[in-house]
Amino acid sequence: MIIVGVDGSVAARAAVEWAANDAFRMRVPLRIVHAVDRSPYQISKHPTPAMPDLLLREGQRILREAEALVRERQPAVEVETRDIEGAPAEVLREQAEDATEVVVGSRGRGGFASALLGSVSMHVAGHVRCPVVVVRGEHRPTYGEVVVGVDDSPECEPALAYAFEQAKLRGSALRVLHAWQVPVHAFAPEASYDMDEVRTAQHQSVSDRLAIFSRDYPAVKLVEDVQSADPMNALTDASERADLLVVGSHGRGALGSMVLGSVSRGVLHHAHCPVAVVRA
């Protein structure tokens, strides 16, 4: 089952469309979830007695509109709705326990999306076991390419597996991007490297990892993209021509070491396409 969080925003509507399309491709049910968070009103000096009812009515309206959108875009998808009390991040985390995927909008007005590029997104991507897809509100053309970031660690393999499956379901090419930087040693900054040797080793690292998946996905067109570049910048640039950017949540090396830190935050802020964060 795919879980999508909604709050009535433009980004949440885009997330619903994304989730409906993915549910159709995967042939799994879709659950639309709205979080009713009363906490901001419970600590007010002048609480409004009617506010809980207003929140519930607004949540029901948001859910009805989201369900109608799914039935309009993908009528074959089995869909249900849930209005759940609680903080957005905690609601998503609980709902995602048995989910195939969680989808959220990147910006919104309260509920799931308002702080998605801050505490909510970091909490969900760091604690939810299934892939978390962050969708922006603007409409983009279809490019026919999925991009996945890899590093030199086995922890990137779940992201690769997810990216291969997405490329297969979409009939898209898969660009496997490995951005690496020559390390600078604090005690030997003048250390030199054989760049041809380093480059060859990086290519071989990517090729060896891809060989494992290529046998299972022979129809997926692969594009190996190994760059000596800053990982966040390379991923952001590649996202301009992609329908989906996939990154792993843990790993070693230039890309994976801080994927829930500086790299992931930078990608989530600056990527031009939806971003999927896949836990190792």
CATH: 3.40.50.2300, 3.30.110.60, 3.40.50.12370, 3.40.605.10. Which one for 145-278? 3.40.50.12370
DSSP 205-253: HHHHHHHHHHTT-TTSPEEEEEEES-HHHHHHHHHTT-SEEEEESS-SH
- The Cα 120–Cα 278 span in angstroms is 16
pLDDT in tens, 248-269: 875 444 443 334 556 777 787 8
Cβ atoms within 10 Å, residue 123: 17
CA distance 83 to 218: 42
The mean-pLDDT minimum among 27-31, 85-89, 93-97, 139-143 falls in 85-89
Claim: this prediction has a pTM higher than 0.75: yes
pLDDT of 243 higher than 90: yes
Fold annotation for 2-135: Rossmann fold (3.40.50)
Q: Where are the alpha helices (DSSP H) in 146-221?
A: 157-170, 195-214
- Say whether 145-278 and 2-135 share the same fold: yes
Q: What is the pLDDT of residues 136-152, one digit of tens each?
A: 888 899 999 999 998 87
The domain spans of the chain are: 2-135, 145-278
What is the rounded average pLDDT of the residues 173-181?
88
